[in-house]
Each structure stands twice: as C-alpha cells, then as structure tokens.
A and B are shown apart, each in its own frame.
Chain A
C-alpha cells in the first residue's frame, strides 16, 4: 500500500504542479481583488471591500458586462439553432454537396478570428454601409459559433439511430410529433452543450469583436481598453472574481446533476445483472 503510494509520488507531484499552474492565477485574482492597494503587487496591504464598492458605481463596466451577456445569449441561441439544423441535414440526408458543406462550414473554426474580423468590417462598413452596432457583433458571434455547435450536435445525432424516429412514426407520430416527443428530448444534452460552448465563445471573443466595435461594446473589449487606467484595474479584478464564482457554481451544479443521473442508472443496471 505505502509502497504503491511512493511509486505514484511523481504522478502526484505532477498533478499538483498542473493544478497550481491552472489555479494560481485565478487565486491571485481573488486575493488581489481584496487587497487594499491600487498597485497589484506583494506584499499585500490589508483587506478591503473597496473595489467591490467601486464596482457598483462603475456604470460603463456594468454596461459592457450586460452587453456581453445579451450578445452571448442571443448569439448562442441562434448559433445553436442554425448549427443544429445544419447537423440534422448533414446526418439525416444524403445530398449532393454534403461533404463540401461539411468541410466548408468547419473553416471558421480554424480561421484566425482577426482575419475574419477584418473581412467582416469591410463587408459591413464598406460594402453594406451598416453602422457598427451590437447587432452586428451578435451576428458575427453567431457566425463563428455555428461550426462548433454543428459538430457537437452531429456527434450526438450520429449516436442515436434513425430507427428511433422511424419507430415514433411507426407508432403513429406525425413528423412534428416525432420532432417534439423524440428527437428534441434526446438531443437536448447536445443542444445545451452547444449553447454553452457558443455562449463562452461569444463571452470571450476579443480579436474579431474589437475590429467591428462601434460605440457600444462587450466586456473583453472594454476591459482591454481599461488597461490604460491602472488605478481602475482592481475593479476589473473584483468583477472577474464575481464572474468566476458565478460560473464555478453553475458548473459544479451541472456536474453534480449529471453524475447523480449516471450513478442512478449504474445502480439499477447492476440490479438487473443479478
């Protein structure tokens, strides 16, 4: 037993190092957001809620955060919808340009977003004469998220047999009823996953967004512009801490729900084997 532990020691050290490198920056963010100093450096000066109080009054920052959430939500919704529809077409039907479409739609995944941003800027401004707006940012985010959404939904659809839909129709379900009662419920986990990926993609996006930003913008772009005012930096740390806590809670909850579900299944599967 102890022997075993010793032999695994390098493994444990490695794991510890990985975790430290992953979470140290985040921990620092937390710690410094409560530090009573505008200069982000050690030694720490003392505990304060000051930056969180200032955050309450930072109107533009809240505005950018709100924009980010709206853009992320709307773009994730449409990217999931369109991505799922494309996935259905590709998995369910054999048509002429199927393979080409699949290849073509994956290009935005690998194209540097700064290049895409430049292209979109030219398209929107010079060719179509649009005013730059949050709407255009949203549209662009939909564009870059569709491929990932499509691939996620495709993976799920490939796993579930077309027989299920045929079985539903065989039992008297019209195509609409089949969609609502069978196809959608079964693909729901994939749709949620696609939505989350699209949401975070949008929430994170900087390079492309900065190029097509008009008067209003999203959080990453706003934060970057704030780096010019070092005195305000701790406020950003406070906001970052809040966002991290929020997302952690959501992820832990989701994971807990998921594992509760699978253990339930496993237990009864064992029961059946007996």
Chain B
C-alpha cells in the first residue's frame, strides 16, 4: 500500500448551537488517505463531509483527536501554513482581482519571486485551458470557467493535497459530466492527492480510487468503488449507492460459508462468510437488480430462485426494468439487458421465477 498522506486519528467534531446545545457533526473515527489517490467523501446532506474537509484544511478545530499530514500533527498549524489547498463549492474567487491576480495570490503570499510567479500562473492557466482570460474579473466568466480558475488558483501552489468541496455542484448536468472526466484526468496528470466531497454517488463511483460513505457523522464504509458497490457493508450503503432490492428473510441455518434463509415459503441458499448470525434471526437480503434473472418456469436449476408475478416492465433502451411482486408481498426490481436472442419475454400478470447466484446476494444484519 502507498504512503499515508493524511491521517485522522480518533477525530471528532461537535458544534455549539446558538442556543447552547451541542451538535455531533463527526463521531470519533480514524481515516487514512494515501498519497496520490483520488479519495471521495460521499454521503447525504449534513452527514459531515464538509466538516471533515474543513478540519483537514484547518478552518475548523477538531473537538478530539489528532490530524497528521505527511506524518506531522496539524493541531497547532493554522490554515495558512498547511500544505493543502481547497477548492470551494462557490469557488470563492476574489471579485476585486483579475483572473491572473487570483491565481497568483497564493504564490505572492509565499513570496515566490515575480518572474517565477508569472511562469507558474501561465502554466496553471494553460493546464485548465484558460489562457487569454488573464485580465478578466471573475464576474466576467461563466460558471465552468470560474470553476477552472478556482482549480488553477489551488493547483498553482503545488499542494500535497487538494481538497475539493462539491466543486461541480453549481454546474449543469452536461458540464458536470464533462468536468468529471477532466478533473479525473487532471488528477492523474499532476499526481496530487485529491480529497473530493460529493453527494452524487455516480460521480463518486466514476472518479474515485477509494470512497468513504458517510452518514450522520460516521464513516460507514471506506473502500474501492467496486467493493462498495458489490459488497456494501450496511443497508444504508447498499441503498445509497445504486439501486438495491432488500428482501426480508429468516435464517434457517448457517453452515460453513453457506447460509440458508427462508423467504416466505421458499428456502434459498446464499453465501455469508462472517459470523454472528444464528438460526431464527431476522436478516435482510440485498441484491442488485442487474444480478437477478427472470425465468418462465422453475427449470430444475440449483440456483436460488423466488416465485412471483410480473407487475411492470419498462423498456429503457439498453435494458428493461421489471418489477416482480413476490408471494410475500415484497416487490423486486430486475434489470435485464436487451439482447437480440432473448427467448423469454414475459407479459404483465405472468407468473415468473426470479433467479440469482448465491454469491451475488448479501446478507445484511442491520
């Protein structure tokens, strides 16, 4: 594993409300960010993403714990001496300065010689393809251009870590998608560690090397996009990232890695490698819609399968989205790719079998 560049040790944060009460914005937790990675903090509004970022930047003091950047404690280091730079959601460009002066600001503060400053400003503006706009003021730029200025202004300082707080939040969808690709490419090009905040799960999956899924001031799961998508650790994570079917079940038996659960009148086997569940326990089965398959009959397969009635079919171009009502009353979403050679085309009201592979279902206990 690569070197750790930012380490949060037992960090927590409580805000004091104006009425004197305390708000727990972050519960004590550890978090390590590795040098050169694209790390994303993902979670719904108010879960503590910005708070985490602001503690790293030095705008907010942690209530407990320590924060290390490049193995040095930052507790006593003010924001203006930390080797990190931030890109704000509203860009926070200085309205009274030109684009060139905005980008030069950090270098000027660090007393970089004038000639070197000019070269570096030019290079930074080149990098974000903004040359020619040096003399404009921020209010004379479009949203996307401002976004680039904010990036250039931070990157020109060659920080160890770049912190980005929903940097694409103010852009329209099309520009957003374009900038995602560009940002990712930029990050690989400069090789700087990015800590990126977003509440858009697609964005997080597409861009990140690792994601921390947050909720209510806790880091629920910290892992690669693939791991988080395919092996969500909690119901919240499974639900927040992509679409998931949740099926209530009761555990019949758990032998070696194979659990047998009861769903209505049917018993199905799924893989469960951890311990701590016992026969009779109420559990939840989580399975992605694209991991389910529709079949007409219970054809003597050994695959786990559930019986139900087709309730809805929605043609979506590359795939079709089916909703199946199971005997238990719960409904399942199934997504199947529209292949040319598809023998089975059920119609609404048909009795169908929903099949899956034992490895693709997850047992969640929360």
Q: A-side interface residues toward B, CB under 8 Å?
A: 94, 160-161, 163-164, 166-174, 177, 181-182, 185-186, 265, 268-269, 271-273
Contact = CB atoms under 8 A, between A and B. Distances in A.
B31 to A, nearest CB: 21
A272 B139 CA distance: 10
Given A94-B18, A167-B88, A172 B94 contact: no
Interface in B75-97: 78-81, 84-86, 88, 90, 92-96
Interface string B59-83: 1000000000000000000111100
Interface stretch (B102-110, B243-251, B285-293): B102-110
Contact of B140 (A163, A168, A268): A268
B9 interface: no
A170 B79 contact: yes
* Contact-residue size bin, chain B (C-beta under 8 Å from the other chain): 20 to 34
Given A94-B18, A163-B92, A171-B109, A268 B80 contact: no
Contact of B136 (A161, A173, A268, A273): A268
Contacts of B86: 166-167, 170
Given A161-B90, A173-B109, A177-B109, 17 more contacts: A94-B18, A163-B88, A166-B57, A166-B92, A167-B88, A167-B93, A168-B105, A169-B58, A171-B80, A171-B85, A171-B109, A172-B81, A172-B109, A172-B110, A173-B105, A186-B94, A268-B136
Nearest to B163: A170
B52 interface: no
B157 interface: yes
B92 A173 contact: no
B117 interface: no
Contact of A272 (B18, B93, B106, B142): B142
A48 B80 CA distance: 68
Q: Please provide the 4 A-B residue pairs with the shortest distance between their CB atoms, ordered closest to farther.
A: A172-B109, A171-B106, A163-B92, A167-B92
Given A166-B79, A167-B86, A171-B106, A186 B95 contact: yes
A223 to B, nearest CB: 42
Contact of A185 (B80, B96, B109, B136): B96
Contacts of B105: 168, 171, 173, 181
A273 B80 CA distance: 36
A206 B81 CA distance: 53
Interface of B: 18, 57-59, 78-81, 84-86, 88, 90, 92-96, 105-106, 109-110, 136-137, 139-142, 145, 153-154, 157
A171 B96 contact: no
Given A94-B18, A177-B109, A269-B140, A169 B96 contact: no
Contacts of A168: 94, 105
Nearest to B82: A170
A185 B94 CA distance: 10
A121 B269 CA distance: 93
Given A167-B88, A173-B80, A265 B140 contact: yes
A169 B139 contact: no
10 contacts: A164-B92, A166-B79, A167-B93, A169-B59, A170-B59, A170-B84, A171-B85, A171-B157, A173-B105, A265-B140
Interface SS of chain A? helix
Contact of B79 (A160, A163, A169, A182): A169
B153 A171 contact: yes
A267 to B, nearest CB: 9
A45 B94 CA distance: 61
Given A170-B57, A170-B79, A164 B140 contact: no
A183 to B, nearest CB: 10
Contacts of B110: 172
A271 B57 CA distance: 36
A186 B136 CA distance: 17
B254 to A, nearest CB: 52
A167 to B, nearest CB: 4
B80 A265 contact: no
A177 B109 CA distance: 8
Given A171-B105, A171-B106, A172-B157, A186 B79 contact: no
Contacts of A186: 94-96
A185 B97 CA distance: 10
A160 B141 CA distance: 18
Contacts of B136: 268
Contacts of A171: 80, 85, 105-106, 109, 153-154, 157
A1 to B, nearest CB: 36
B79 A269 contact: no
A26 B94 CA distance: 43
Nearest to B153: A171
A161 B165 CA distance: 15
A269 B145 CA distance: 13
Contacts of B84: 170
A177 B18 CA distance: 30
Contacts of B92: 161, 163-164, 166-167
B65 to A, nearest CB: 22
A265 B95 CA distance: 12
A218 to B, nearest CB: 36
B81 to A, nearest CB: 8
A182 B93 CA distance: 10
A166 B59 contact: yes
